[in-house]
Amino acid sequence: MHRKTLIIILASIFALGIIIGFLVPSYSRGTLRACSCGSHLLPEIIVPDGEKTCNQITTNNPVFFTLIFNIYSVCPGQEIIVCEGGEKISERVEKTGSCKLALGTFMYVFS
């Protein structure tokens, strides 16, 4: 009787960890360089139109989430801004490598 109860409790915790992992939003972290399409210090410098690489970004997507430990899918990326006429018209993050699993607590990830 006790063994069956323990198995049910552990299975419930595991299932909840996976469900909560899907519900917890992913978050990104990276370098904080100011990226612009023009030079504010030297306005006479014209930055060519097109794409410009900017910050290194890492996106963490929860896979399994409990309060004791969490498993994240960690994906490295590169922020890219698109310049036209000295103005930033769009930006995106491109994945630069393969994702790996990492163990973490709360929102801190051990890579």
Tokens of 64: 């399994």
Band the pLDDT of 110: cuts 50, 70, 90. Answer: low
pTM over 0.85? The answer is no
Q: Using the predicted structure, report yes or no on whether residue 33 has a pLDDT greater than 80.
A: no
Instruction: Specify which residues 27 forms β-bridges with.
Output: 60
Distance (Å) of CA 5 to CA 1, 15, 18, 26, 57: 6, 15, 20, 33, 44
pLDDT, tens digit, 9 for 90 and up, residues 51-93: 888 888 888 888 888 877 888 889 999 988 888 877 888 888 8
CB 35 within 8 A of CB 52: yes
How far is Cα 75 from Cα 110, in angstroms, rounded to an integer? 13
By DSSP bridging, strand 70-84 and strand 87-95 are antiparallel
Report the pLDDT value the prediction gives residue 47, as an integer from 0 to 100: 64
